Amino acid sequence: MPENKKSEAEKIGEKLFFKKKNAWEDIKKKDFDELMSLSEGYKDFLNKSKTEREAMVTIEKIAKKFGFVDIRKAKRTDKKLFIQYDGVCGALAVIKNPDKCADGFLMNGAHIDVPRLDLKQYPLYENEDMAYMKTHYYGGIKKYQWVTRPLALHGVIVTESGKKINVNIGEKQNDIVFTINDILPHLAQDQYKKTPAKIIEGEQLNILVGSIPYKFKSSKDSVKLAIMDHLHNEYGIKEEDFVSAELQLVPAGEARDIGFDRSFVGAHGQDDRVCSYLGLKAILDMKASEIKKNIMMVFFDKEEIGSAGNAGADSNIVERIVNDILNLYGKADYNTLIKSLENSKFLSSDVNAGIDPEWKSVNEPMNAAKIGYGVCLTKFTGSGGKSGSNEAHAEFVADIRKAFNKDNVLWQTTELGKVDQGGGGTVAKFLARYGMDVIDCGTALLSMHSPFEVASKADIYHTYKAYKAFYKYL
Ligand code: MN
Ligand code: MN
């Protein structure tokens, strides 16, 4: 048979089979350029937003440039709203029609907290004439990944008088950094016998912070005293002030391109700042003519520790946001609030695990995320028999699929690991309780929850396109 002639079976196969497509294959120059420039903005966002507080500051700054008004100062004529609670979570909303709030919102939501090491409330101590600070890890980390690397300290200290001191140490070229030490291989025989979870234990995650005794005179705790004296001079704090501080250790340095072809972004905290940034960018870039409904982008805190607390998705944060909007337009009654939530549709935007060629056995390849094959659409999460998942209804998945196809979004259906391999979940189930349709949708990562996560720029691009298509067509 001549090469250019397709067989009957091939032709029917093309028509009937679903084929995953590599996003780089035959990519148009315009898309390639847009994709590359999108990732520049993304890296800039990552560099400026290393804690949830810093992320909210960045989001507020960008939103204001785009004409969003803080809802606390907004008038009824304002249609682009910025909402924030406690400086750690919030939302942007674009109101197409204030009279249609009961019809619900097209909501996209992602989390801006990330796995990291928090300083303990009483952190500073001295041992072997060196000063250290104790940490408590936040979120699911492999503890051994956090040793022997430069760490930066970000956060806030609130003094008794209510003064807020911002801390950002370790990002500039000449800044100091901190580090957690590991034992040398020569003497690691006992360490090697331990299981990976115990190679470095939680109470060993202590950062090195100094070694010069106070006034160069050694006595008990003289190094600790010298450090505390330095902090007092620099920030005006005393030891008790750590109690009311939120100080986070994150890998020092900027987000980077990876690969000779620059096809990946490498950075800490891409789970879930990739979806946070792309959701932000999507709502900012929507043209008024493109949207028919009221739309919203929500930023959650505390996802990595179970969405708990008053800034996490397992609180009434979305109710509060919708209520504040209804209030602005004089429609805040319980019935409208409940109807609005029930009629909303929600994209639970979070990352998924891409197939890593070195660890293929954890995935079932037909239903796992392939890196470079577009945005992940995840009908259910959970573990075991889908336990703990909200599982999206087939009708909603059909609507999403249709919207994505309409805008040539490259998407793939995905799951978090093969059956009974493990699993996980995100904010989806906490929104589903309002009766709204919810589905998980986000970017695949390699090395998720590590100090240096990896995402494909092509997947980043199609995630952004997906979020816009959702606002346009749902
Ligand atoms: Mn996440
Ligand atoms: Mn996570």
In sequence order, what are the residues at sequence separation of 6 or more whose Cβ sits closer than 8 angstroms to the Cβ of residue 220? Answer: none
Of all ligands present, the nearest one to the C-alpha of 351 is: 1
Mean pLDDT by 10 residues, the chain (474 residues): 78 92 97 98 98 98 98 97 97 97 97 98 98 98 98 98 97 97 97 95 98 97 98 97 98 98 98 98 97 97 96 96 96 95 98 96 93 96 88 96 97 91 89 96 98 98 98 97
Q: Is residue 71 a contact partner of residue 82, using CB atoms and an 8 Å limit?
A: yes
Residue 369: what pLDDT?
Answer: 96
303 CA to middle of ligand 1, Å?
A: 7
Q: Which amino acid is at 125?
A: Y
Å from CA of 294 to ligand 2 middle: 29
What is the distance in A from the centroid of ligand 1 to the CA of 110?
A: 8
- Ramachandran area for residue 215 (φ above 0: left; ψ -120 to 50: alpha; else beta): left
Rounded distance, CA 160 to CA 238, Å? 11
The 8-class DSSP code of residue 368 comes to S
CB atoms within 10 A of CB 98: 17
The alpha-carbon radius of gyration of the chain (Å, integer) is: 24
Length of the chain measured in residues = 474
Ligand nearest to the CA of 449: 2
Tokens for 159, please give them. 């003094």
* Half-sphere exposure of residue 152: CA atoms within 13 angstroms, side-chain side: 23
User: How far apart are the CA of 159 and the centre of ligand 1, in A?
Assistant: 32
The pLDDT value given to residue 2: 56
pLDDT at 423: 84
CA of 75 to the centre of ligand 2 (A): 37
Burial class of residue 72, CB neighbours in 10 A (0-12, 13-18, 19+): exposed
Closest CA to 430 of 329, 348, 327, 360: 348
Q: Which numbered ligand comes closest to the C-alpha of 139? A: 2
Q: Are strands 294-300 and 105-111 parallel, antiparallel or unpaired?
A: parallel
Name the pTM for this structure.
Answer: 0.96
Ligand 2: distance of its center to the CA of 271 in Å? 5
Q: List the one residue out of 474, 469, 222, 433 whose CA is nearest residue 313.
A: 433
Ligand nearest to the CA of residue 442, numbered in listed order: 1
In angstroms, rounded to a whole number, what is the distance separating the alpha carbons of residues 321 and 71? 10
Report the greatest alpha carbon distance in the chain.
90
Q: Which ligand has the shortest distance to the CA of 450?
A: 2
* pLDDT at residue number 95: 97
Count other Cβ atoms within 10 Å, centred on residue 233: 9
Which domains are assigned to the chain? 24-113+268-473 (3.40.630.10), 116-251 (2.30.250.10)
For residue 3, what pLDDT is reported?
A: 58
Contact (Cβ atoms closer than 8 angstroms) between residue 126 and residue 213 = no
Ligand 2 center to residue 34 CA distance, Å? 27
